[in-house]
Structure 1
């Protein structure tokens, strides 16, 4: 692993956040007083009518009225060649009308092909064609909503053939759009553990000055593969990687613990709170 260098941000710590999928309410009540940002997943708040559950928005207004928000989407399908998900954009319109976020983030993947939902999100290959498509759509999103659109690489258990390295793809994307990147450290570890990424090479090649947000999570191993199922505490190896990232990311504004809503009952609210406290000590010792 690349050696940690002195903090290039001049001692300015990034904000600390947590993801929230609308459940349980007790989690939001426990976290709102101790985090700077709540990252809301619009897809997880939506009802059958395609609009957010009003009660879930009311919970956020009641329990976290002064906490900053970011939106982290799943359903845009920015990499679908035939067109992205217009239903997701309508959902996003409703969310922006409710409360404007600091920024919006999405995944560098696709969830539909020929109008059919895949039930998963394959990663985009790092090709010039994919890069051109995503750059254009990223610019469109930023112009439409007046907010920075940060894009996150997607971990994949399969080989990712392409024409450039993942870091080069991300560097060019950020440079051409003017938007910063969202880097999920656990996703990087999954790709590295699955033999699909050299972590030292990635850390050395990525332009960390273009990283605006970092995610941390704990996943699972299944059938010899490390999967990015964000359902557990952050591993020590991921925290060590955070130290490296903090030393290099000069324009970082947010470090966030990401956990699936359905994982919270098994983990317990207290465990999630402890994870946030651990990150607080790591980010601003």
Structure 2
């Protein structure tokens, strides 16, 4: 996928449907079976899973994997995506994406679950490292090393979220560009872009605030480092602004990535 897209949400369905030229869209995979396909724009649709718990200690739920595969078939998706995270443990649901320890044991669990998922999919899988407000003690890898090893083991692609890169780097006191450069950028399938805000000294990836210039700068850095044009998707999941503001953000992403505007 090449170009600029926006995540489809019921609250902005009319806006997304009226856009003249989004390159693609993304829909939460677990909600796809409840959406009228006629509401989706006539562009490639990527089902984006949030409940597989790929990083859990136990095996992924086969029913949830089938749901993801069925979502991909339903919209003839070019690929699907999920998170390098866990959402349940010991029979309890967290209701939130939680970071995995960057350990060999965690790599083994993720490798197993990604392979089980890929065995049921007819399309590629891209995995997204999340924004985390804490790190587990005694991590054995940097984030870049961990992701590289994981993709080497599984053949999965990388869903690069530059907003998550910025959030993690800022909260850890690191250089966002250096963190970006440590990632396996040759495996990027597409890119997420989103806004956030600071609260109590920590930067939160909210998807409900305007895009900061620092995140747009990482879009530009990504475009410079990846020789082929990528797809850049704007995420918004709350406090939806007027349509004109969303248009300005989409144009800003396109400009930063040196891609044609979609409006």
- Verify same fold: TM over 0.5: yes
2:15 to 24, 27, 37: 27
2:217–2:256: 8 Å Cα contact kept in structure 1? no
1:187 to 156, 164, 175: 164
SS at match of 1:111: strand
Deviations 1:4-54 (A, max 9, x none): xxxxxxxxx9322111133333122233x22110111123x26xxxxx224
User: Is residue 72 of structure 1 aligned with residue 48 of structure 2?
Assistant: yes
Match of 2:221 in 1: 244
CA–CA separation in structure 2 for the residues paired with 1:143 and 1:271 = 41
Shift of 1:142: 2.2
1:216 to 178, 193, 205: 193
Deviations 1:204-256 (A, max 9, x none): 32231122211111012211111111112211111111111111123563111
CA–CA separation in structure 1 for the residues paired with 2:188 and 2:35 = 33
Q: In structure 1, list runs of 5 or more residues that go unmatched.
A: 1-12, 47-51
CA–CA separation in structure 1 for the residues paired with 2:180 and 2:13 = 37
- Superposition TM-score, scaled by structure 2 size: 0.89
2:152 to 171, 175, 199: 175
Cα 1:28–1:81, aligned 2, differ >3 Å: closer, same or farther?
A: same
Match of 1:108 in 2: 84
User: Is residue 263 of structure 1 aligned with residue 239 of structure 2?
Assistant: yes
Cα 1:158–1:178, aligned 2, differ >3 Å: closer, same or farther?
A: same
1:36 to 16, 20, 23: 23
Cα 1:216–1:140, aligned 2, differ >3 Å: closer, same or farther?
A: same
CA–CA separation in structure 1 for the residues paired with 2:154 and 2:203 = 31
The count of residues paired between Structure 1 and Structure 2 equals 258
SS at match of 2:172: coil
CA–CA separation in structure 1 for the residues paired with 2:229 and 2:126 = 12
Deviating beyond 3 angstroms after TM superposition, the runs of 4 or more aligned structure 1 residues are 250-253
Could you tell which deviates more after superposition, 137-146 or 106-115?
Answer: 137-146
In the TM superposition, 1:140-155 aligns within 5 A as 140-155=116-131
2:87–2:93: 8 Å Cα contact kept in structure 1? yes
Could you tell which deviates more after superposition, 109-118 or 87-96?
Answer: 87-96
CA–CA separation in structure 2 for the residues paired with 1:197 and 1:176 = 27
CA–CA separation in structure 2 for the residues paired with 1:129 and 1:69 = 34
**Superposition RMSD on alpha carbons, in Å?**
2.1
Shift of 1:188: 1.2
SS at match of 1:36: coil
